[in-house]
Structure 1
Amino acid sequence: MGADGGPAPRHLPGHIAAALARAGEATDSAGQPWSGRDLAGEGNPLHQFDADDGEADPRVEAAIAALATGGTEEAVMEALAAARVFVPVVAELVEGGLGVHGFAEDKEADMALVTLSAPDGRKALPVFTSVARLEAWHAEARPVAVFAPRAALSAVSEGAELVVVDPGADATFVLRRPAVWALAQQKPWTPSYRDASLAEVVSEAIEDIVPIRAARLEPGKGVATRDRAGRVLAGGGPGPELRIVLELAPGLPADALREMVAELNGRLAGSERFAEAVDSIEISLRAFGD
């Protein structure tokens, strides 16, 4: 958040800043004049989104809505991988002063990405599926159309670990760090609680911790979210993402339990695979056989 409690602006990534800086010039980036060119026709669009109506991608809409009826987070990610979204930018005053008639005026301003602070303090990048949703959320922000993987790449370059899809809308979907990184690299993604390779990592980590009889992975209590109508959506929540359920020998004293959990956390933190694939965890302790 900024000092006024609103979203904190951040500088644009270089590729967007450079494009905006060239806007309105008499020549293109190669120094060739625009004058006399015919940019009309389907074979010569002004840019990738010149025919864009600003509406939400129906595949993304359907995938998020389906979370209320058995849909998966993976399906939302697959839809986003090919979707256009809008990133909000705002003008940030760099230098101001009084004009010749004594009125305050902008001397110099930059365009900056808008970022958010998540409840846990992490930086988040908001993106929107439609222009209308962006304008309803921030009336002064301007939409920059990009493919969702490019937005995720911008989030990574800005140090944002979360991407929030449609904040303030009827349904909001949060991409956590592993999903953001996968989208930025245009790679497939599997939630940690359904990742068989992570179950193997946990099994190896508990192998010689005697009080632990078994372990299993489940969705964490922060996976689900609700839309504005109160429907539970099975995905898109802010975390914790993964619950590790440990089945223990009965009768362990509190000190032994704390030491055991600390030992397990240390082993998991030392696993590169686990650190890359898991955003946040909670550990649940249960007596063996319950």
Structure 2
Amino acid sequence: MSDSITLPGGDWPTLEPGWVWLCGAGPGDPGLLTLHGLNALRQADVVIYDALVEKTILDWAPEAEHVYAGKRGGKPSAQQRDISLHLVDLARAGKRVLRLKGGDPFVFGRGGEEAQTLVQHGVPIRIIPGISAGIGGLAYAGIPVTHRDVNQSVTFVTGHDQSGEAPSSLNWNAIAQGSQVIVIYMGMKHVQRIADALMAAGRPADEPCAIVCSATTGDQSVLETTLARMTADIAESGLEPPAILCVGRSVLMRQVLDWQAMASGSAPRDLDPLGRGRPAERA
């Protein structure tokens, strides 16, 4: 990445000393960062960034101090309380602070907690949304989270709670029966428990599923499987987090919408994977 990229003309907001902007960096591909995010990087004195932020994005803030505050399951990580209070301290010291988080700061990113802490301590904030991996990551895999022939609902859930265990507060029966497509963040550790819960609630064992690892990056890997085989296939594949899991018939659309494979010269595997028997324009 070059720091010579400039913003188009416009009345861009100013990151003032003593402010903290909480910004989503997108799911991985630096090109998915918003222009407001680029504007923030250009002005920040300090960038506090997470584990899932693509490091080349930081090149757009060459004058800023870069501080890592990532959390990864099973690895030593900064405590959330310390991160939040460090943001307060930097703002009180008159720094122009950018809190850069993977995906969107308010989608399983603890952005709400950090923003609330800042407001409670009298620190002014701005929120800059980002593209969440549960949408953008699946799109890069050729999987639409909504498709008129498949679903009129989609549910986003987290695969683990604050303790690192599968969320006990989730009503898997209601989710399984009420949402045609389910997108699961951070679910690989507990994939068997999740799959068992969904099948016990009535989801078919042969329901299409996909696991998208390192979504939108050069290391992206996609595994297509079924609910019953998901755990075994993940183990056999050797795939590792970060990953997004998708459960639902929209996964079948990858057979016709795997645009990255087609860009490399591969033909679509099935032009009508849902078996509708009519051209898409007549849907």
Normalization by structure 1: what TM-score? Answer: 0.25
Structure with the bigger percentage of strand = 1
Give 1 or 2 for the bigger CA radius of gyration.
1
Query: TM-score, length-normalised on structure 2?
Result: 0.26
